[in-house]
Amino acid sequence: MTDLLPTLADIEAAAEVVYRDFAPTPQYRWGLLSERLGAGCWLKHENHTPVGAFKIRGGLTYFDQLARRGPLPREVISATRGNHGQSMGWAARRHAVACTIVVPRGNSAEKNAAMRALGVTLIEHGDDFQEAREHALQLAQERGAHMVPSFHPDLLRGVATYWWEFLRAVPRLDVAYVPIGQGSGACSAIATKRALGHGVRIVGVVSRHATTYADSIAAGRVIEAPVSTQLADGMACRVADQAALDILRPHLDHVVQVSDDEVAAAMRHLFTDTHNVAEGAGAAALAAALQEREALRGQNVGLALTGGNVDAPVFAGVLGARD
């Protein structure tokens, strides 16, 4: 399945598309985080994009590729827990295309508001992402609209640009931790590592309360798993994507599962050590690295702060809790 992965030329071309809308995000070696981890700790700030998460990169390149292939559709439809939907809303607005997004009931109020502010028509349906996704597919078929998947090669080429920035900026990075939701972040890390010939080891991170990717990688086939995470909504996937699984399984160094309690602690650490806000999935990489702290001593560790879109009441509760 590596033919789905973008090449170096693809990634470089994608960067030109992305940079029409915003500049490269920074990566810093944070002193307090390094002390906490006992290793050189580099943090890639994808929370600093215009939608507060890395997904915008994929949305921009997805629409760019659509436009190159012919007339754009009159409407796109997709499903999300929030960040993919903001990505679609941003890119659809840029191309003057109507955008409808389906979210599960009880989704983040602030992510919903952010999508609406981008001109998205929001529909709440189902109890989890999978039910929202199935409804989005049905709507697209009924309306003759273009259904945007959560995992696609044209999304990967855009997402890979943040790894391209990161790995070129820190050529001596030993290991990088990346959260897995639907798989675009981790697959793009693998693609960029291969494209640059970088020696970094890529470690996947899943929620202990949403284990479809961990279970599927172990089994070698898609295994559906229940979702019960209350904090890492960006990783709340019930059914792994087969195409993503085919890329991840042979190329990830290993997979770490993190609990909501570990994620909450990592959110607090990121705030106290860097004064950056991380949503649950955005803090998962640090949670995993802290779990493996003893094995990381003396190494250069890369963490993806993939997003900072957490509702204020949720973040207040996290900050108010004790480690």
Q: Are residues 170 and 23 in the same domain?
A: yes
Q: Are residues 38 and 120 in the same domain?
A: no
CATH code, domain carrying 137: 3.40.50.1100
Q: Are residues 193 and 224 in the same domain?
A: yes
Reduce the DSSP state of residue 175 to 3 states and report it: strand
Q: Are residues 143 and 230 in the same domain?
A: no
Spans in the chain with pLDDT lower than 70: 1-2
State the pLDDT at residue 94. 95
Q: Are residues 136 and 220 in the same domain?
A: no
Find the angle CA(91)-CA(132)-CA(65) to the nearest 5 degrees.
25
Of 147, 164, 179, the domain-final residue: 147
Q: Is residue 182 within 8 Å of residue 244, measured between CB atoms?
A: yes
Structure tokens of 213? 């990717």
Q: Are residues 184 and 109 in the same domain?
A: no
Q: Are residues 127 and 138 in the same domain?
A: yes
pTM of the model: 0.95
Structure tokens of 56? 């915008």
* Domain residue limits at 235: 2-54+153-320
Q: Are residues 246 and 279 in the same domain?
A: yes
Element holding 202 (H helix, E strand): strand 201-207
Q: Are residues 184 and 282 in the same domain?
A: yes
Amino acid in position 98: A
State the pLDDT at residue 3. 73
Q: Are residues 301 and 221 in the same domain?
A: yes
Residues 6+ apart with CB under 8 A from 139: 77, 100, 102, 123, 145
Of 126, 147, 168, the domain-final residue: 147
Q: Are residues 8 and 18 in the same domain?
A: yes
Q: How many folded domains does the chain comprise? A: 2
State the pLDDT at residue 322. 79
Kind of pairing, strands 254-258 and 300-305? Answer: unpaired
Q: How far is residue 148 CA from its own chain's centroid? A: 16
Half-sphere exposure (Cβ direction) of 115: Cα atoms closer than 13 Å? 30
Sign of CA dihedral 109, 111, 112, 113: positive
